Amino acid sequence: MKKPITKPKLVHLFSKFKHDSDGAIAIQFALLLTPAILLAGAAVDYSRMSSSRAQFQDAADTAALAAARATTLSESQKQKLANKIFEANLPKTGYTINGQNLKPNDGGYTYTAHGSIDATLLKLAQFDKLDFAVKSTAASLGIGAEISLVFDVTASMGFGQRWRDATEVLIKTLENLKRHSGKNNFYVSLLPMGDRMKLPKERSNWLSQTPKKWDGCVEVRPEPKGGKKYRLSDTPPSSKPFVAQSDKNYPGYNDCPNVPLTGPTNDLGKIEQAANSLRPQGTGRFDIGMAWAFRTLSPKWRSEWDISNYPARKGEREKIVVLMTDGNTNAYVSTYPKDRLHQFGGHYGNRGTKQHFKNLADICKQMKKQDIKIHTVWVKGNSSVVPYLEKCATSPKYYHEVHNAKDLENAMSKLGVGISKLRLTE
């Protein structure tokens, strides 16, 4: 076995190479120099590759988070968004992108990218390129959500294609939010808002007395307090039962929605079916719709909905209410004709009353005290309601004006605030 070349021997060889014209010395020197050059080249190229890989990883992290937050986009749109953001976060030169892919996983998205750099000195060893890959997963923290949707179903809202478009955007948003929360940690309720609330008939145990023929509609159940004659609250039926609606209470006013309160459920198919079955009805009692949204989320109703750990206690899940209306209403004018409450725009002006809107604001105030987030969506109509919708919303960014389908999509995309709290898991 040959003995290794020691430092003294190397010095001797260099000395001989300097003074000896014999080609054998040059050959020995070249044989020693080539591995040294390759090692130096490998170090340089590996350093360049590591730098590019780190840049790819940072860009992939940003892309994965962006895709996970884009709750209203389709899968193909999310792929395009992720690629665009990934490429925007890379330097302009010095690398080649060989592949990009975005895949949904349980509660988030995984973004992978393959890249390469051109070799320099390693080309002497026939390495033209150095390949690398990165992967980033943005996953939900699993906070969960309870969402109540209050839809104005009065005739002025308009149905047909406009309503179908709104439902499609909404369901797509909810599906994405559900993926972030997990099936058993995400619940949605749909509350059609007419003049009364229609309950599923199995909720007859919430009544003080059940009539022989009951269609599910219940009376308002005001709880006067502090001079607020029409005040509504989240008092559960076990403490204060409801009264079934009857023509004896208000003859001729039977404006109950055709679809009952749907939910709470994690089956979004049921929500979609109910939304697509809605028909115009009623004069628009915003306060009743919001009071029932409050009841679907208040911990005081914890034993009423037949769902374990629902509604969750404060801080256990994100709680969100969405009120969508054009603001047109004759409520309190037609429902309480004896009171002759002050109206905007004259009698039957379809612009509502101050008492009605103040009652709405009072319910919103009660919900905010329980950390319930409130989004108000004004579909361009009666401007008299706008100051009250702005006051009702959790903050200015939770108030949305909708003039077209794109506006609605932008508004719905903000529902994920607080739910989609993401983290990078790899």
Write out the chain's pLDDT in tens, 426 residues: 445 444 454 445 445 444 555 555 555 545 454 565 556 656 777 888 889 999 999 999 999 988 887 766 778 999 999 999 999 999 988 899 999 999 987 667 899 999 999 888 777 667 788 899 999 998 765 568 899 999 988 877 765 566 677 777 778 778 777 765 656 788 999 999 888 899 999 999 999 998 888 889 998 898 888 878 788 999 999 999 999 986 555 544 557 889 999 999 999 889 989 988 888 877 778 889 999 999 999 999 999 999 988 999 988 888 999 999 888 887 655 554 444 444 444 444 567 777 788 889 999 999 999 999 999 999 888 888 899 999 999 999 999 998 877 787 777 777 765 555 556 666
3-class DSSP state of 241: coil
Give residue 75's region: left, alpha or beta (phi > 0; psi -120 to 50): alpha
Q: How far is 300 from 425, CA to CA, in rounded Å? A: 36
Compute CA distances 139 → 51, 103, 146, whole Å.
Answer: 26, 12, 19
Nearest partner of 298 among 391, 365, 235, judged by Cα: 235
- A 10 A CB-CB count for 7 gives 7
3-class DSSP state of 139: strand
**Torsion of Cα atoms, 272 then 273 then 275 then 277, to 10°:** 160
Strand partners, 400: 377
Six token digits for residue 17: 């190479």
Give ∠ CA 322-326-327 in degrees, rounded to 5.
95
DSSP notation for 318-381: EEEEEEEE---B-TTTSSSTTT---BSSSTT-SB-BHHHHHHHHHHHHHHHTTT-EEEEEEESS
**Phi and psi, residue 211, nearest 5°:** -65, 160
Six token digits for residue 370: 């329980």
Contact 221/199 with Cβ under 8 angstroms?
A: no
Contact 82/111 with Cβ under 8 angstroms?
A: yes
